[in-house]
Structure 1
Amino acid sequence: MLRPRPAGAARPGSGRRPDADLVVDCAVYVDGRRIDPTDPHDALREATERDGFVWLGLYEPSEGELAGIAGRYGLHPLAVEDAVYAHQRPKLEQYDDGIFMVLKTATYVAHEQLTATSEVVDTGEIMVFLGANYVITVRHGHHGGLTALRRSLEQQRELLCLGPSAVLYAIADHVVDDFVDVAAAVEDDVDELEASVFSDRRADDIGRLYQLKRELMSLRRAVSPLENPLQKLANRQVDVVPDAMRSYFRDVEDHAIRVRDQVGSLDELLTSILQASLARTSQADNEDMRKISAWAGIIAVPTAIAGIYGMNFSYMPELDWRWGYPMVLLLILTACVLLYRGFKRNGWL
């Protein structure tokens, strides 16, 4: 889970000064080609002079580290605060000269067997500042690195020629594709639990079902709110997003809606499986109670007869008869057999 850091504090364990060793990667893109700037501090000026844009990648910056960058790029202070402390829901905010978008990332945590305490879905965040000549990505979490995505995007010159919004599209598409993979992996866990619940063996699956439902809720909180920001990018006029990019965002929106529906269906299926598991548990308890009651009824017959003859009265039937003792044993055996057959026929045993 993500934890907020105190204001002005560097990332724990980084051993770096504010605004030092902060940049994961920085490059200027002109006509779809990468140009490494001579000085990252002058990357924006170089991108503006060449009519290109700069992509600046950051990882878990502190407030002090991001303050200097925010001053150079003119980032809105409210957006900077959100980028530092994370724990935001997916959203899109438009400011005077740019936009700020928050995306939740998710990855599937592999496990040999699902237990009542297994971590299944791990989430993080990517914040994107987008302006006319810059893209700044701020990543939180131990997964969702963008290095491979950047390298892949640099092979698509025509897409990069569309400007900074092409980077935002590529990130959104990458995040949604990860959602699809996580949902498919969680679906395998749901299938395993469904088979376990309806198998002949007795197993306590309620704890595992509840844990998977909780983990699926984390994925749902990452996927569901994303539809509205993508819809704005695809259908509404946003100054820093050219019309040529709207079809790309509509495609991502379509994928996000499909994975949202898939996650919703998995949640409903888990609810049904949980109810079925509770019903089977209740049915098994009733069957056990019937068996206990049946055996108690059978045992009550010899107990009652032995109790009567154990009262030691002088005038009791058949006390002086030679065959009285075997006759009583035969009576007990016959009564027990008849009761057993009756309970067996009625399904109590």
Structure 2
Amino acid sequence: MAERYIVTFHKRDLNEINEVWNQIFAEKNLADWDKYRIFYEIMDNVVDNFFPIMYQLEDQINEVEENTEENSMDVLLDRLFSLRHQLLELRHSVIPIRDLFYRIINSHHLQGIQERREYFADIYDHLLKLSQMIDSSRELTSDIRESFISRNSYHQNRVIQMLTLVTFIFAPLTFIAGIYGMNFENMPELKWQYGYPIILGFMLLITVIMIAWFKKKGWW
């Protein structure tokens, strides 16, 4: 930034620069446009354009949290990690600008900025708000991630518990079926007229008793 020009570096055409350029030539009194005002207008546009990005990321985080589309846990976690990466990139852009503006508005060597301190302080306030929104969103994504992992672990534990209970129920039934499936000749129960229904009823009774006991313990 010099007395008669301001140098900006960007690899592609920026709307923020074009808007200020058009605004300058739209006004008749160009004397009001010194280098500090041009610098302020450019940075004000740059900072303001961060907010729609931030709002969009917040909406996407809410969509992941609510899961109205009923996506699987893997899809939700992939989206969540992608959002965290985007928030990190946004933070890497906002924080250096925030720190730079803090030094600018507190510097006593930039008289032109000190004369317009309230304007540049307004940009700094917006940067502070942006950084707080980013940090809050990152904390929210961490909470959602922990919630998803805890919920997934809970469901896995419930599945393992149910499989264990089913295995526990079938263990005595398999034992009884194994005994009477050996086909030894000297097994008097095999010749009972009502042996088959008695054994089935006994196995059913064992199953009912075990399920009732599991429910009483709160395991079923």
TM-score by length of 2: 0.87
User: Which of 121, 138, 155 lines up with 1:284 in the alignment?
Assistant: 155
Question: Which residue in 2 is equivalent to 1:148?
Answer: 19
* SS state at 2:186 partner: coil
1:158-179 per-residue CA deviation (whole Å, 9 max, x = no partner) reads 7962511211111111111111
Question: What amino acid sits opposite 1:220 in the alignment?
Answer: R
* SS state at 2:73 partner: coil
Aligned-residue offset at 1:190: 1.1
Question: Which residue in 2 is equivalent to 1:133?
Answer: 4
- Whether the 8 Å CA contact 2:24–2:33 is kept in 1: the answer is no
C-alpha distance in 2, partners of 1:242/1:213?
35
- Whether the 8 Å CA contact 1:132–1:240 is kept in 2: the answer is no
Aligned-residue offset at 1:148: 2.4
**How many corresponding residue pairs?**
219
Identity of aligned residues (%): 29
Question: Which residue in 1 is equivalent to 2:168?
Answer: 297
Residue 99 of structure 2 is aligned to residue 228 of structure 1: yes
* SS state at 1:329 partner: helix
C-alpha distance in 1, partners of 2:103/2:165?
67
Question: Which residue in 2 is equivalent to 1:171?
Answer: 42
Structure with the bigger percentage of strand:
1
TM-score by length of 1: 0.57
Q: CA RMSD in A?
A: 2.6
Aligned-residue offset at 1:212: 0.9
Q: Is the alpha carbon distance of 1:142 and 1:213 closer, same or farther for their aligned partners in structure 2, counting shifts above 3 Å?
A: farther
- Whether the 8 Å CA contact 1:153–1:170 is kept in 2: the answer is no
Which is bigger in relative contact order (C-alpha 8 A, separation at least 6)?
Answer: 2
Structure 2 gaps, min length 5: none
Structure with the bigger percentage of helix:
2
Aligned-residue offset at 1:152: 2.8
* SS state at 1:131 partner: coil
Aligned-residue offset at 1:309: 1.0
User: Which of 253, 267, 270 lines up with 2:124 in the alignment?
Assistant: 253
Residue 104 of structure 2 is aligned to residue 210 of structure 1: no
Q: Is the alpha carbon distance of 1:132 and 1:293 closer, same or farther for their aligned partners in structure 2, counting shifts above 3 Å?
A: same
* SS state at 1:134 partner: coil
1:113-158 per-residue CA deviation (whole Å, 9 max, x = no partner) reads xxxxxxxxxxxxxxxxx11111122222475552123213444667
Q: Is the alpha carbon distance of 1:348 and 1:156 closer, same or farther for their aligned partners in structure 2, counting shifts above 3 Å?
A: farther
C-alpha distance in 1, partners of 2:10/2:171?
72
- Whether the 8 Å CA contact 2:16–2:45 is kept in 1: the answer is no
